[in-house]
Amino acid sequence: MTTRYFGQRIKRNEDPVLLSGRALFTDDVHLPDMLHVAFVRSDHAHGRIVSIDVEAAREREGVVAVYTAADLGDYWQPGPLLVPPPPIEGIVFNARTQVPLAKDKVRHVGEPIAMVVAESRYIAEDAVEDIFVEIEPLPAVVDMEKALEPDAPLIHEDLDSNLAAHVVQTKGDYEKAKAEADVVIRRRFYYNHGIAAAMENRGMVAHWDAKTQHLTMWDTTQAPIAIRNGLAAMLGLSTSQVRVIAPFIGGGFGPKIMMFYPEEVLIPWAAMKLNRPVKWIEDRRENFFATTHERDQIHWAEIALTKEGRILGVKDTFLHDTGAYDPYGLTVPINSQCTLLGCYDVPNYYSEFKAVFTNKTLVTPYRGAGRQHGVFVMERLLDIAARELGLDRNEIRRRNFIPPDKFPYNNEIIYQDFVPLVYDSGNYEPALNKALELIGYEQFVKEEQPRLRAEGKHVGIGVVAYVEGTGIGPYEGARVQIESNGMVNVATGIGTQGQGHFTSFAQVVADQLGVDVRKIRMVTGDTAEFHWGTGTFASRGAVVAGNAIHAAAAAVRQKILKLASQELEVAEEDLELGDGKVWVRGVPDTAIDLGTLAVKANPLRGAVKPGTEPGLEATAYFGPERGATANGVHAMIVEVDPETATVQIKRYVTVHDCGRVINPLILDGQIHGGIAQGIGNAFYERIIYDDNGQLLTASFMDYLIPTAMEVPPIEIDHVETPSPLNPLGTKGAGEAGAIPTGALFAQAIEDALAEYNLEIREIPLSPNRLFELIQEAKAKKGGA
Partner 1 sequence: MSEQMTIRVTINGKAYERTVEPRLLLSDFLRHECDLTGTHVGCEHGVCGACTVLFDGLPVRSCLMFAVQAHGHEVTTVEGLAPEAPERLHPLQEAFWEAHGLQCGFCTPGFLMTLVPFLEQNPNPSDEEIREAIAGNLCRCTGYQHIVSAVKLAAAKMHPDPSLRETR
* 8 A C-beta contact, residue 641 and residue 458: yes
Kindly state the smallest distance separating residue 110's Cβ from ligand FES, in Å. Answer: 20
Residues 645/663, Cβ–Cβ less than 8 Å? no
Residue 21 found at the interface with partner 1 (CB under 8 A): yes
Q: Of 292 and 496, which has the nearer Cβ to ligand FES?
A: 496
CB of 427 closer than 8 Å to CB of 403: no
Nearer to partner 1, 163 or 705 (CB): 705
Asked if 199 interacts with ligand FES (CB under 6 A), we say yes
Q: How far apart are CA 748 and CA 462, in angstroms?
A: 4
Q: Which does 495 bind (CB under 5 to 8 A by kind): ligand FES, partner 1, none?
A: none
For residues 199 and 454, which CB has a smaller minimum distance to ligand FES in the complex? 199
Assign 303 to helix, strand or coil. Answer: strand
Ranges within 200-259 binding ligand FES (CB under 6 A): 251
Per-residue binding string, ligand FES, 490-529, x by CB under 6 A, is: --------x-------------------------------
Scanning 228-236, 295-303, 514-522, 661-669 for contacts with partner 1 by CB under 8 A, the matching segment is 661-669
Pick left, alpha or beta for residue 16 (phi over 0 → left; psi -120 to 50 → alpha; otherwise beta). Answer: alpha
**Start-to-end CA span in the chain (Å):** 70
Q: Is 207 helix (H, G, I), strand (E, B) or coil?
A: strand
Angle in degrees, CA 108, 357, 156, rounded to 5: 75
Q: How far apart (Å, rounded) are the C-alpha atoms in residues 370 and 364? A: 9
Q: Which stretch, 91-99, 589-597, 707-715, 762-770, contacts partner 1 (CB under 8 A)?
A: 707-715
CA distance 533 to 424: 24
In the complex, what is the shortest distance from the CB of residue 494 to partner 1, in angstroms, rounded to a whole number? 15
To partner 1, the closest distance from the beta carbon of 425 in angstroms equals: 28
Please report whether residue 714 would count as binding partner 1 according to CB under 8 A: yes
Only one of the segments 127-135, 307-315, 660-668, 685-693 lies at the binding site for partner 1 (rule: CB under 8 A); that segment is 660-668
Binds 665: which of ligand FES, partner 1, none (CB < 5-8 Å by kind): partner 1
Which residues does 664 contact at the CB level (< 8 Å), separation at least 6? 7, 8, 9, 718
Contact partner, 32, from ligand FES, partner 1, none, Cβ < 5-8 Å per class:
none
Nearest-approach distance from CB 649 to partner 1, in angstroms: 12
Q: Rank residues 270 and 676 by Cβ distance to ligand FES and give the closer one.
A: 676
Binding flag, residue 27, partner 1 (CB under 8 A): yes
How many alpha carbons lie under 13 Å from residue 425 in its C-beta half-sphere?
Answer: 15
Q: Which of 500, 535, 659, 693 binds partner 1 (CB under 8 A)?
A: 500
What separation in angstroms does the CA of 125 have from each of 66, 271, 586, 589? 12, 19, 71, 68
How is residue 753 annotated by DSSP? T
648 binds partner 1 (CB under 8 A): no
Q: Describe the crossing of helices 224-235 and 262-274 by its angle, rounded to 10 degrees.
A: 50
Of 644, 648, 707, 757, the one binding partner 1 (CB under 8 A) is: 707
Interface with partner 1 in residues 267-296 (CB under 8 A): 283-284
Q: Where are the alpha helices (DSSP H) in 97-236?
A: 121-130, 144-147, 174-179, 224-235
Question: Whole-angstrom Cα distance, residue 337 to residue 316?
Answer: 8
Q: Does 499 bind partner 1 (CB under 8 A)?
A: yes
Q: Does 669 bind ligand FES (CB under 6 A)?
A: no
Q: Which does 332 bind (CB under 5 to 8 A by kind): partner 1, ligand FES, none?
A: none
Q: Which residue among 66, 109, 164, 197 contacts partner 1 (CB under 8 A)?
A: 197
Angle between helices 393-400 and 428-439 (to 10 degrees): 160
Minimum Å distance from CB 668 to partner 1?
7
Nearer Cβ to partner 1 (281/389): 281
Query: Pattern of binders to partner 1 over 105-144, x per CB under 8 A?
Result: ----------------xxx---------------------
CB of 673 to ligand FES, least distance (A): 8
642 binds partner 1 (CB under 8 A): no
CA dihedral 522→523→529→535, nearest 10 degrees, is: 120
Under the criterion CB under 8 A, does residue 32 sit at the interface with partner 1? no
Q: State the minimum distance, in angstroms, from the CB of residue 700 to ligand FES.
A: 8
**Residue placing its CB nearer to partner 1 in the complex, 298 or 666:** 666
For 462-501, letters b (16+ CB in 10 Å) and e give bbbbbbbbbbbbebbbbbbbbbbebbbbbbbbbbbbbbbb
Half-sphere exposure of residue 506: CA atoms within 13 angstroms, side-chain side: 24
| Residue 676 touches which of partner 1, ligand FES, none (Cβ within 5-8 Å per kind) | partner 1
- The whole-angstrom separation of Cα 605 and Cα 665 is 48
Question: Which of ligand FES, partner 1, none lies near 28, with the C-beta cut-off 5 to 8 A by kind?
Answer: partner 1
Q: Starting at the earlier edge strand, list the strands of the sheet with 203-209.
A: 63-68, 112-118, 35-41, 278-281, 203-209, 214-219, 242-245
Comparing CB distances to partner 1, the nearer of 200 and 424 is: 200
- Give every CB contact of residue 26 below 8 A, 6+ residues apart in sequence: 200, 203, 204, 205, 218, 219, 220, 247, 249, 281
Non-local (6+) Cβ contacts of 555 within 8 A are 480, 618, 620
Q: Which residues pair with 169 in a beta bridge?
A: 351
372 forms part of the interface with partner 1 (CB under 8 A): no
Identify which of residues 146 and 651 has a Cβ nearer to partner 1 in the complex: 651
Residues paired with 480 in a beta bridge: 490, 618
Instruction: Give the footprint of ligand FES on this chain (CB under 6 A).
Output: 199, 251, 498
Instruction: Give the footprint of partner 1 on this chain (CB under 8 A).
Output: 11-12, 14-25, 27-28, 30, 61-62, 121-123, 196-201, 248-251, 253, 283-284, 497-500, 665-666, 668-677, 699-701, 705, 707-709, 711, 713-714, 737
